[in-house]
Amino acid sequence: MAITNFSDDQVIQAIQSSGSMDKASRMLNIDISALYKRRRRIEHKTKQKIEAPQAEKNNQYAHFQISLTHPHSNNLGILNGTVIVFSDAHFWPGIHSTAYRGLLWAIKELKPNVVIANGDIFDGAGISRHPRIGWSKAPTVIEELKACTLAMGEIEETAKKARHNVKLIWPLGNHDARFETFLAANAPQYEQVKGFSLKDHFLSWEPCWSVWLNESTVVKHRFKGGIHATHNNTMWAGTNIVTGHLHSLKVTPFSDYNGVRYGIDTGTLAEPYGPQFEDYTEKGPLNWRSGFAVLNFHNGKLLLPELVTTHGPDSIEFRGRVIPLT
């Protein structure tokens, strides 16, 4: 049913009685992004905040459990501030990419309110559903896990030094899911044993499927595919949407009667021609870019998203400058 078929009072009652925006959207049988927009218009008209009491009371990030229930997302309610989003790090033993070092620099300089690892921090090459290519040698799970722990720990430490109340969020990626998918298929008897979920190894990072930064911007690992993904993502989502997965690192604006919104791809934190990818891409030319995204909000509105990209082996590009990394 269309959101316009409901009165303001019906919308308010659904939000307040259901306890969450997600449940209210199901109760009204309408798209959740349309419900967020309608709530924002009602709040602007009435000058009053409409809250879902139970959701506000429980204000926790849902953990993902692949073999159990998938979580819903929370709304962080960011009005003003900075969010840094990186994705597809595919951390590999012994490698710290230029974009990774640039991320640490950006966190120190920009002091973001939130840092989001938007999926695929873990590669899982040794437990992939895809067959081994020739006699290629992939790192073991423990070698990859140590590389991820080291890198995520350094990002966490840098972020907490830059801002004491920084939020660390981690939407699940399809490569991250390999960790538990393999165990669920081969050792189901160990379900819920500590350490058998990837999240058990990154306790400071709040795991989820997606997170709403505010009512107009959502971050999740993937949505649509193909070279026009960023366009299709925001067109179909009806809101600003930040994704990874495709390694393309780009921003696509989309305009309609509701204004301008953005589809953002956060690229890859890894080197596009790194060892993680060279076998299955056969070292072919890749339309991938290494970097991450910086999102700035003013009065709840997302300003033109900024991208940080690698310039050379020891430098990054940002805001018209080439920044050396020491």
Domains in the chain, ordered, with CATH? 3-57 (no CATH), 60-324 (3.60.21.10)
Confidence of residue 294 (pLDDT cuts 50, 70, 90): very high
Rounded-to-5 percentages of helix, strand, coil across the chain: 35, 20, 45
Residue 57 clears pLDDT 50, i.e. is over it? no
The pLDDT value given to residue 130? 66
CA 288 to chain centre: 18
Angle of CA points 167, 60, 160, to nearest 5°: 15
Q: What is the DSSP string of 176-219?
A: THHHHHHHHHH-GGGTT-TTSSGGGG-TTSEEESEEEEETTEEE
List the beta strands (DSSP E) in the chain. Answer: 81-86, 114-117, 167-171, 206-208, 210-214, 217-220, 240-243, 250-256, 259-265, 291-298, 301-302, 306-312, 315-318, 321-324
Residue 61 clears pLDDT 50, i.e. is over it? no
Asked if 64 and 207 touch (Cβ cutoff 8 Å), the reply is yes
Confidence of residue 305 (pLDDT cuts 50, 70, 90): very high
Residue 70 clears pLDDT 50, i.e. is over it? no
Residue 72 clears pLDDT 70, i.e. is over it? no
The pLDDT value given to residue 69? 41
**What is the Cα–Cα distance from 172 to 63, expressed in whole angstroms?**
10
**What is the Cα–Cα distance from 32 to 121, expressed in whole angstroms?**
28
**What is the Cα–Cα distance from 63 to 269, expressed in whole angstroms?**
24
C-alpha closest to that of 263 among 216, 293, 287, 230: 230
Percent pLDDT > 90 in the chain is 60
CA distances from 41 to 12, 71, 78 (A): 12, 27, 17
The pLDDT value given to residue 128? 74
245-264 average pLDDT score = 96
Residues 6 or more apart whose Cβ sits within 8 Å of residue 275: 92, 95
What pTM was estimated for this model as a whole?
A: 0.78
Residues 6 or more apart whose Cβ sits within 8 Å of residue 233: 223, 224, 241, 243, 263
Mean pLDDT of the chain: 87
117-146 average pLDDT score = 84
* Amino acid letter, residue 294: V
Residues 6 or more apart whose Cβ sits within 8 Å of residue 214: 75, 76, 77, 78, 79, 297, 300
Structure-model confidence comparison of residues 74 and 9, the more confident one:
9
The pLDDT value given to residue 33? 74
pLDDT digits (tens, 9 = 90+) for 133-172: 777 778 899 999 999 999 999 999 999 999 999 999 999 9
The pLDDT value given to residue 60? 39
17-38 average pLDDT score = 78
C-alpha closest to that of 272 among 48, 18, 44, 98: 98
